[in-house]
Amino acid sequence: MSSEENVILNIDDACISYGGDLAVRNVSLQIFEKKITAIIGPSGCGKSTLLRSLNRMNDFIHGCEQSGRISFRDEDLYGDKMDPVEVRLRIGMVFQRPNPFPKSIYRNVAWGPDINGLEGDLDDRVEKALRQSALWDEVKDRLHESALNLSGGQQQRLCIARALAMEPEIILMDEPCSALDPVSTARIEDLLFELKENYTIVIVTHNMQQAARVSQHTAFLENGVLVEYGDTEEVFTNPKNKRTEEYVTGRFG
């Protein structure tokens, strides 16, 4: 990895367990600024758990415990001085299933900036976020209709717009295309290409082609263990580990 890349998140020896069962074991890796990092691996390998630990969404899960250190711009993400609400304000998230609020399209995007009192004109912010998520042209004439009338793919792009409206430093995406059809998936991948100019993205996916297409770095997790981490091209064309090779060539998983 080249030296001009800045580490924005440093995960050091992270272990995460649910009620005593270890889901993530001694994982250490760095997330680089303004790059897309993909986390791949078979179902149940702990990739979503790892992702959710990066903006403290695991705080809501009863019996979830964590050790090791995760630093966000050199500050301890789980330190006493870190406010979890502030963490989620700076590190946004898009979930596996589209989860728009049962409100209008406009209110969905404006919700975060509104409650957090972000500066600037709300209308401009909503329009900008919807343009960035390539949804503006489809919804500009019906901003005040319910978001639940949108298609699944549109809803997911709305959720991305909702996250973008907060102008977070990092966006975490947890299998954002797994509930979508191929056309919607392609649109979201196009979107990721555009977003990486300005945003740091960590995407969990079980779709290896997707990881290969969109990311610069790829981490391969199996049974909670980080098997391999490196440049995406390396991981897919010249993996160092036998298990990685078997997984990326589709022999299991």
Partner 1 sequence: MKTVKPRYLENSLQVVFFMCAAISTITTVAVIGILAFETWGFLQHVSIVEFLFGTRWSPLLHPKSYGLLPLLAGTTLIVVGASLVALPIGLACAIYLSEYAGERARNVLKPVLEVLAGIPTVVYGFFALTFVTPILRTVLPQTDVFNAASAAIVVGIMVLPMVASLCDDAFRAVPDNLREGAYSLGATSFEVTTRVVVPAGLSGVFAAFVLAISRAIGETMAVTLAAGATPNLTLNPLESIQTMTAYIVQVSLGDTPAGTLTYQTLFAVAAVLFLVTLCLNIAANMIMKRFQEVYE
- Give the interface with partner 1 as residue ranges (CB under 8 A): 55, 57, 60, 62, 85-86, 88-90, 92-93, 95, 97, 99-103, 111-112, 115-116, 148, 159, 162-163, 166
Q: Is 175 or 228 the residue whose CB approaches partner 1 more closely?
A: 175
**Measured distance CA(44)–CA(50) in Å, rounded:** 11
Residue 220: name the closest of 14, 251, 55, 208 by CA. 208
**Measured distance CA(252)–CA(243) in Å, rounded:** 9
Taking the complex as a whole, how short is the minimal distance between the CB of residue 70 and partner 1, in angstroms?
17
Q: Is 72 or 220 the residue whose CB approaches partner 1 more closely?
A: 72
**Six token digits for residue 177:** 């295309």
| Sole residue written with tokens 């997330």 | 31
**Measured distance CA(202)–CA(71) in Å, rounded:** 15
Taking the complex as a whole, how short is the minimal distance between the CB of residue 233 and partner 1, in angstroms?
31
Q: Is 37 or 55 the residue whose CB approaches partner 1 more closely?
A: 55
Contact 133, 158 (CB under 8 A): yes
Taking the complex as a whole, how short is the minimal distance between the CB of residue 59 and partner 1, in angstroms?
9
Taking the complex as a whole, how short is the minimal distance between the CB of residue 18 and partner 1, in angstroms?
15
Between strands 7-18 and 21-32, the pairing is antiparallel
Amino acid at 171: I
Taking the complex as a whole, how short is the minimal distance between the CB of residue 50 and partner 1, in angstroms?
16
**Measured distance CA(54)–CA(56) in Å, rounded:** 6
Taking the complex as a whole, how short is the minimal distance between the CB of residue 156 and partner 1, in angstroms?
12
Q: Is 87 or 248 the residue whose CB approaches partner 1 more closely?
A: 87
Q: Is 162 or 217 the residue whose CB approaches partner 1 more closely?
A: 162
Instruction: Outline where DSSP puts E strands in 95-241.
Output: 170-174, 200-204, 217-222, 225-231
Q: Is 66 or 232 the residue whose CB approaches partner 1 more closely?
A: 66
Residue 52: name the closest of 209, 216, 157, 175 by CA. 175
